[in-house]
Copies of this chain bind each other. A is one copy, B any other.
Amino acid sequence: MAYTVDFEPIGRRIEVDEGESLLEIAQRSGIGLAAVCGGVGTCGRCVIQLMSGTLSPPKEEERTRLGDNRLAQGFRLACQAHVASDCKVNVPPSSLTTAQRTQVEGRGQEVPLDPLAQSYALQLSPATRQDLRSDATRLCDALQALGLGYLRVDLAAAQRLPSILRNHEWQVTAAVMHDKVVAVLPPHNPPLGIAVDLGSTKLAGYLVDLTNGDVLAAQGMMNPQIAYGEDVMARLTHAVQRADGARQLQDVIVRGLDDLACALCRQAKQAPEDVIEAVMVGNTAMHHLLLGLPTAQLGLAPYVAALSEPCDLLGRDIGLTFAPDVFVHILPNIAGFVGADHVAMLLGSGIYRAEDVVMGLDIGTNTEVALKVGERLYTCSTASGPAFEGAHIAAGMRAAPGAIERVWIEDGKVYYQAIDGHLPVGLCGSGIVDAVGQLRKIGVLDERGAMSLDHPRARLGERGPEFVIVPRSESGDGKDIVLSRADVSEIQLAKGAMRAGAEVLMQEAGIRVRDLERVVIAGAFGSYIDVVNALRVGMFPPLPPDRFEQVGNAAGVGARLVLISREQRALAAEIALQAEYVELTNDPRFTTAFAEAMLMP
């Protein structure tokens, strides 16, 4: 009598006690089967479908509620059915009291699992001479028996269906989107989704099980477009000036996405063809290059996007081969330089629904600034340049082994920390900010960034005054690692643009610095910087450090939320419509603020 029941698609196996109905088993196991009538067989809500094994014979209540047709397909009322062998039963979403909860959390918000593609495990009856329905009709009829309306079957699903049915005893999992069956999978494969944050420098990908929202794999890789230009402007130039430039840039990013998706699937031991949905976010330029949209008008005043609305397409529309039939959703852009990645950040960080006064900063070559005040949400983009990524800095480098990521100066001594404990060879962004902040702290730099030579490590180099962070005796390549006056100027320009953008948004909203209750710093670089040193440099509005939150890749979180929730998808579209974009070019307030913001506190 020691039977077990597997509840699908939840994936729970429960041991059965004598005399229990399926409803009782579900209830004591925390599976929220609906039972409005209290389990007496009259409400008809606790419908399940038997996939394998034997249940007690159907009772009169079940004949009345379900009819012979659905009974023949294995549908039963959980409150009336008892287990007579080891069983597997499928619980349709319509029989659950509440949507499943998922683990993906965007800054404390728990989002109910409700992906665009809803999955159904089905047992179909085989084709016979007496039942000549096409495979697709058979599938649609079974879905209609579950209470779904009139459905169409997408071509890709129709192509895969006959072999799945005949190789798996007419069992299949169907994924339904709006009024269409968009994919069919072998009966025990979960439908998968991929969320990707397309950064100018890095791609971050997440493989998600759409039946429970679990992240099965996460992986990053360099954006292969870097071969065509370090920053977005260089790539736009390539796209416009070379006859085949745009196509080249699209091809390499699409091949990169193919590689990323395959790597994620290998990591999670899943089949790429089971990936049925993808959500992608990126800045407006990355967005246009990925989608093959014209970019000429994006690089010239007045800098307008070809497309800012949310966009739905199939993988093959942009040449993806890992799953040509995958449904791809691209989040909306706000403006020419405030893209879908910023929308995803505002969603993933929860800024869009903040009730306090919050500023959001997504620091990169372009830094997007957002400001939420009451019901209004302002955004702008500032050309902060690549200095924070180590470019245009004499000893600058990317965050790689051997890059100094931390610098602190105490009692005249210079301490540092290089990535992975390697011998130091250069400075990455967070190390540069630390170095400038520490030199300002000890007075080697004045508020204008002028460098005093009154320190043993300070000297006059070929390019002017410079400060030795690491002497050649300690460095990995036998050269001094220095920060020069010119490097400091680069940082002042970069942070000045960012601060001036923040300033203009506050003026637009009619608030002052002290009104800011929180500043949210998103993105990889933003997560690594030392906020206190950044405040010394004057990167951020002068506020107590405890008002700053470093939230990591909030854009990636936002993309994952959209992947698993229709509500979040709609919210993302709303955010893009709601955001008020402030164009800084030719804004006299920006010019004024910029001059001031170059100074260090």
Contacts and interface: CB of A to CB of B under 8 A. Distances in A.
B132 A309 contact: no
A576 to B, nearest CB: 10
A140 interface: yes
Interface string A56-78: 00000000000000000000000
B307 A136 contact: yes
A163 interface: yes
B302 A129 contact: yes
Contacts of A301: 129
A88 B116 CA distance: 45
B306 A132 contact: no
A134 interface: yes
Contact of A292 (B140, B159, B312): B159
A135 B309 contact: no
B297 A333 contact: no
Given A136-B307, A159-B306, A306-B159, A129 B313 contact: no
A261 B586 CA distance: 51
A166 B297 contact: yes
A293 B132 contact: no
B137 A297 contact: no
Given A134-B308, A135-B297, A333-B134, A302 B162 contact: no
A516 interface: no
- Copies of this chain, whole number: 2
B127 A302 contact: yes
Interface stretch (A8-16, A150-158, A405-413): A150-158
Contacts of A530: none
Contacts of A305: 134-136
Contact of A137 (B140, B161, B309, B313): B309
Contacts of A128: 302
Given A132-B581, A152-B312, A155-B311, A306 B127 contact: no
A128 B583 CA distance: 12
Contacts of A401: none
A291 B127 contact: no
A307 B129 contact: no
Nearest to A130: B302
Given A140-B309, A333-B134, A155 B291 contact: yes
Contacts of A136: 305-309
A549 to B, nearest CB: 30
A212 to B, nearest CB: 30
A3 interface: no
Given A132-B581, A134-B333, A163-B294, A155 B317 contact: yes
A247 to B, nearest CB: 12
A44 interface: no
Contact of A583 (B132, B292, B309, B318): B132
Interface string A3-38: 000000000000000000000000000000000000
B307 A153 contact: yes
Interface in A121-156: 127-129, 132-137, 140, 152-153, 155
A205 to B, nearest CB: 21
B132 A304 contact: yes
A291 B134 CA distance: 15
A177 to B, nearest CB: 14
A313 B155 contact: yes
A333 B159 CA distance: 16
A336 interface: yes
Contacts of A541: none
B581 A135 contact: no
A132 B307 contact: no
A312 B136 CA distance: 14
Interface in A309-328: 309-314, 316-318
A28 B137 CA distance: 52
Interface in A145-191: 152-153, 155, 158-159, 161-163, 166
A415 interface: no
Contacts of A318: 155
Nearest to A296: B162
B304 A152 contact: no
7 contacts: A132-B303, A134-B304, A134-B308, A136-B306, A136-B309, A161-B306, A316-B317
Given A133-B308, A155-B317, A162-B294, 14 more contacts: A129-B301, A132-B581, A134-B304, A134-B333, A135-B305, A136-B307, A136-B308, A152-B309, A152-B311, A152-B312, A155-B292, A155-B318, A159-B294, A162-B293
Interface of A: 127-129, 132-137, 140, 152-153, 155, 158-159, 161-163, 166, 291-294, 296-297, 301-314, 316-318, 333, 335-336, 581, 583, 585-586
